[in-house]
Amino acid sequence: MLRPFSLFFAGVLIALWSFSPVFAQDYAQSAEGVTPLLISSEIPDVELKNIDGESIRLKELVSQKPTILVFYRGGWCPYCNRHLADLKKIEDELYDIGYQILAISPDRPEKLKSTLQNNELGYTLLSDSPMNVSKAFGIAFKVEQETIDQYLKLGLDLESDSGYDHHLLPAPAVYILNTEGVVKFNYVNPNYRERINGDVLIAAARAYYEE
């Protein structure tokens, strides 16, 4: 009944450019070059770590409940922290619909704990330090050396935060997944300053919810 929403989303979402169906094993050379996982695709069976450093498989988590899956750049990013805080404002409504919320970043588990505490978040943060999950979703890209140098001058060290020297980040993204791990909706924007509006996310969550 709510399927017309998809036409609305198609008009407002940067994410719906020409993708290739991919379980990407590589990364793009820029955020504009990412090729996100397609709607109706099944997510890959990839491994992450929780805040205690324990390994867990994404599909196992997703099988427990319909999922709002968020990719963010890290706890060092002010735009990401604003996005996480905005998500906190609507988390109860998303829970009431029937979703769980999982947020993934390249930050190592120790950094996740700081993000949880600093933002007083109640939902789950997960570590993708090697960037294998972001690669598999087709949203990983290489940060230019000039940008890395600028970050270092500002006291931001991507290598320290992730524990890796790959210099990869995810294009910020939000996915809605059913318990079978099928992508029902996505929003991927190469402009890290732009994030999905909470009202749009709630509307999409209602439209694509599956018992």
Query: Any idea what the CATH number is for the domain that residue 140 is in?
Result: 3.40.30.10
Does a structural domain hold residue 23? no
Domain range for 94: 5-18+29-207
Across the chain, mean pLDDT equals 89
Mean pLDDT computed over 15-38: 69
Q: How many domains does the chain have?
A: 1
The answer to whether the CB of 66 falls within 8 A of the CB of 33 is no
pLDDT at residue 147 in the model:
95
pLDDT for residue 5 is more than 80: no
pLDDT for residue 1 is more than 90: no
pLDDT for residue 32 is more than 60: yes
Task: Identify which of 36, 50, 109, 34 has the alpha carbon closest to the alpha carbon of residue 75.
Answer: 109
In angstroms, the CA 76 to CA 180 distance is 33
State the pTM of this model.
Answer: 0.87
pLDDT for residue 76 is more than 80: yes
Mean pLDDT computed over 102-123: 92
Does a structural domain hold residue 188? yes
The answer to whether the CB of 38 falls within 8 A of the CB of 23 is no
In angstroms, the CA 186 to CA 200 distance is 11
pLDDT for residue 13 is more than 90: no
Does a structural domain hold residue 24? no
Does a structural domain hold residue 149? yes
